[in-house]
Amino acid sequence: MVKLTGYKKIKTAVFISGTGSNLKYLIKFSKTKQSPISINLIISDNAKAKGLKLGKIYKIKKKVFNFRKKYKFENQILSVLKEHQIKMICLAGFMKILSRNFISKFKGKILNIHPSLLPKYKGLNTHKRALDNHEKYSGCTVHFVNTRLDSGKIILQKKIRITKNETKSSLAKKILKQEHKIYPRAILKVFSL
């Protein structure tokens, strides 16, 4: 593994749309000595995202962009990222699909967390689909973002057993708890590749 002490942390932006619990764990991780990243910017497509409150708590700059005119706003985001010297992006519950143009500007530098064992259950409603299909296991995946939805190279996964009386919400809760653990571990892995 690459030794990180003494190196400058990589300036990172986290993109969110809602609660921001993954964001919270990423912030906590970023403050540890072993973290290769610092979180310098929070971007949301939703002004009401609860996670934006973390910006105030942890004194991290936050920006909200309406994605209705995607290309226009993506270009604005790119300038803001440049202005803040952001070199890496972590998507954490970000519900918009980034364009090919945007992704190409951060090629290999965008990570995402997804609540299923990819390549199974890309897209939305992962827990319901896993339960409907009587899966024995589900889990979460951290992967690189490419231009195809939830299809980039997998960095790390955590497998969870689905119990007999599992519901959508019990499964979501169990998986989210694991997401909080694997996202930081995946970032460490990326920097040790």
Residue 131 Cβ vs ligand GRF, minimum distance, rounded to whole Å: 15
Q: Does 21 bind ligand GRF (CB under 6 A)?
A: yes
Residue 165: CB atoms within 10 A of its CB come to 6
Instruction: Answer yes or no: 143 catalytic.
Output: no
For ligand GRF, which residue of 35, 77, 81, 93 counts as binding (CB under 6 A)?
A: 93
**Side by side, which strands form the sheet with 137-144?**
61-64, 37-44, 10-16, 88-91, 110-114, 137-144, 154-161
* Choices 2-10, 18-26, 60-68, 73-81 (CB under 6 A): range interacting with ligand GRF: 18-26
For ligand GRF, which residue of 74, 135, 150, 179 counts as binding (CB under 6 A)?
A: 179
Please give the structure tokens belonging to residue 57. 């708590």
Q: Does 127 bind ligand GRF (CB under 6 A)?
A: no
Residue 32 Cβ vs ligand GRF, minimum distance, rounded to whole Å: 19
What does DSSP assign to residue 144? E
For ligand GRF, which residue of 67, 111, 114, 150 counts as binding (CB under 6 A)?
A: 114
∠ CA 36-48-43, nearest 5°, is 30
Please give the structure tokens belonging to residue 117. 């064992």
Catalytically active residues, by annotation: 114
